[in-house]
Amino acid sequence: MRKNWMRLAAAGMAVVMTAGMAACGSSGSSSSTTAAETTTAAAETTAAESKAEESKAEESKAGESAASSGTDVDVSNVSLNFWSDKVGSGSYNMIVAMSKILEEKGGFKEVNVDPSYPGGMGAPYIFKEQGADLSFVNGAPAKWAMEEGTLGREKTDGYAAVIGGLTQVCYINCISNKFLQDHGVSSIEEVFEKKLPLRIGCSAKGSMDAEGAYLLLEYFGVTEDDLKSWGGSITNQGGDQNAEALADGQIDFYIDHTSSASSTMAQIATTCDVTFLQWGDDLVNWFVNEKGFDKITIPANSFKGQDKDLVLPGSPDCLFANTELSDDVVYQITKTLTENRDDLVSQYESFSGWDPATAWESQKIGGCPLHPGAERYYKEAGLMK
C-alpha cells in the first residue's frame, strides 16, 4: 500500500512539473507539444496504476486461495516469544519441543522460550502486562481472569485460545482410610455435610492445586474459619511435605491438580493407607458448568489401590496466544503444531490426551474465546463446522 501511494505521488509531481514547464514556454508550438506529452504521460500513468491494481487483486485472490487450500503462511520474518515455567520443569521441556517444531516445520524465524512465566492463576496477565506472544494457561483461570480477575486483581484480556486439552490433569484427591473409618463416612460430600474435622493438605495459595481445596469450601458454602471451628484446617505446602504429613497422620486429605503420571500420588499410594475419592455428579458438574473445568478420566490402576476409573474436574493446559498476533500467524501456529502432534506425543507422553478433533471446543478451553486464526485452521481442516 505504501509503495503504491509513493508511485501515485511521483506521477502527480511529474504532471505538475511538466505543466509548469509548458506555462513558462515562449512559443505556442512548444506549449502545445508539452501538453501532448503531458496527456500521454498521464494516460500511461493511469494504465500503470490500473495494471498495478489488477496485480494486487490477483495477489490477494491467490493469498485467499492459498489459505483455503491449506498452504502454509510465510512467517519467515516472524519471531515469537513463548513464555514458560522455570528451566527444567515439565512444561518448559514441552514448550521447547513445540518451539523447535514451529521453527523447523512452521517456518518461523525464531521462537524464544522465556522461563519467566508466573504459573498458576497469574498466567493470564502476562499477555497484556508482559507482551507474551504464546503461553500455556489452564483454561479455567483464563476464564476467571477474563471475567472477574484472579488473585485479588482486576480482570484482564488480550489473549485467546489456540489449542485446548493439551494435558490430562484434574483434581486427584485421596483421604486417609483411618479418617473414613473413625467417622463412618465414605465420600467428600459426607465429610462436609457432617462438619467433620478434616485436615486438608495442598500447595501454596495462588496455585491451581490449592484452588481445588478452596473451591470445595465454596461449593459446600463453608469458610476456612468454619472448617477450623470443626477442628479442621488447610495446610499449604509442597507435594513431598504433604506426602510425609499424610503418612505421619498430620493431615487427612490431600488434593492436587495433576495427572495419572503424578509421582507424588504414586508415592502416597504405596506408603499410605488411603482411598482415592470419586466425587458425586453434582459436585463434578458444578466445577464444569460454573467454573469452566472439563471432565477428565484417570484410568483404573493408575495408582496402587485405585481399582476404578476416576472422573474428576480438571483444567488442562491450553495454548493461548496474544490477540495482537495476526490471524495468519496464529493460523500457522495452530496448523504446524496440530499436524505435528504425533511427533510431540512421541517425545512427551503428557501430550497424549490432546485430541485435535476437540481441541477447539469451549469445554476444552475453559469457555474462553478461540483466536480467529485458530478457528480458521480448524474449519479448514474439517475439525470444526
pLDDT higher than 80, residue 315: yes
Specify whether the CB–CB gap between 288 and 363 falls below 8 A: yes
Of the candidates 143, 98, 135, 94, the residue with the CA atom closest to the CA atom of residue 114: 135
Confidence class for position 14, pLDDT limits 50, 70, 90: very low
According to the model, what pLDDT value does residue 35 have?
Answer: 37
Domain count within the chain: 3
pLDDT higher than 60, residue 41: no
Indicate the burial class of 2 (C-beta count within 10 angstroms; 0-12, 13-18, 19 or more): exposed
The reply to whether 103 and 133 lie within a common domain is yes
If you average pLDDT over every residue of the chain, what do you get?
Answer: 85
Q: Write the pLDDT tens digit of every residue in 168-202.
A: 999 999 999 999 999 999 999 999 999 999 999 99
Domain containing 121: what range?
Answer: 79-162+321-380
The reply to whether 12 and 59 lie within a common domain is yes
According to the model, what pLDDT value does residue 16 have?
Answer: 34
The whole-angstrom distance between residue 124's C-alpha and the CA centroid of its chain comes to 9
Of the candidates 298, 248, 237, 241, the residue with the CA atom closest to the CA atom of residue 264: 241
101 belongs to a structural domain: yes
The reply to whether 134 and 232 lie within a common domain is no
pTM attached to this predicted model? 0.77
Q: Write the pLDDT tens digit of every residue in 15-26.
A: 333 333 333 333
In angstroms and rounded to an integer, the radius of gyration of the C-alpha atoms of the chain is 30
The reply to whether 157 and 176 lie within a common domain is no
93 belongs to a structural domain: yes
**Stretch 111-124: mean pLDDT:** 87
Q: Write the pLDDT tens digit of every residue in 253-312.
A: 999 999 998 999 999 999 999 999 999 999 999 999 999 999 999 999 999 999 999 999
According to the model, what pLDDT value does residue 70 have?
Answer: 65
According to the model, what pLDDT value does residue 72 have?
Answer: 86
73 belongs to a structural domain: no
The reply to whether 174 and 158 lie within a common domain is no
The reply to whether 302 and 201 lie within a common domain is yes
**Amino acid sitting at position 368:** C
The reply to whether 155 and 244 lie within a common domain is no
385 belongs to a structural domain: no
Task: Give the ranges where the chain is alpha helix by DSSP (H).
Answer: 2-24, 28-68, 90-104, 126-130, 139-147, 177-183, 188-193, 208-219, 224-229, 239-247, 263-271, 281-291, 327-339, 341-347, 372-380
Report the alpha-carbon distance of residue 355 to residue 343 in Å, rounded. Answer: 14
The reply to whether 183 and 287 lie within a common domain is yes
Indicate the burial class of 64 (C-beta count within 10 angstroms; 0-12, 13-18, 19 or more): exposed
The whole-angstrom distance between residue 384's C-alpha and the CA centroid of its chain comes to 18
Q: Write the pLDDT tens digit of every residue in 220-257.
A: 999 999 999 999 999 999 999 999 999 999 999 999 99
116 belongs to a structural domain: yes
pLDDT higher than 60, residue 2: no
pLDDT higher than 50, residue 4: no
Among residues 276, 291, 314, the one where a domain terminates is: 314
pLDDT higher than 70, residue 126: yes
The reply to whether 176 and 258 lie within a common domain is yes
Q: Write the pLDDT tens digit of every residue in 47-87.
A: 444 444 444 344 333 333 333 346 789 999 999 999 998 89
CATH code for the domain of 144: 3.40.190.10
Confidence class for position 156, pLDDT limits 50, 70, 90: very high
What separation in angstroms does the CA of 373 have from each of 135, 140, 340, 378?
A: 16, 22, 18, 9
Q: Write the pLDDT tens digit of every residue in 336-372.
A: 999 999 999 999 999 999 999 999 999 999 999 999 9
Report the alpha-carbon distance of residue 76 to residue 64 in Å, rounded. Answer: 19
74 belongs to a structural domain: no
The reply to whether 91 and 216 lie within a common domain is no
Angle at 333 between CA 379 and CA 322, to 5 degrees: 100
357 belongs to a structural domain: yes
58 belongs to a structural domain: yes
- What's the CA dihedral at 385, 346, 337, 299 to 10 degrees? 40
According to the model, what pLDDT value does residue 114 have?
Answer: 94
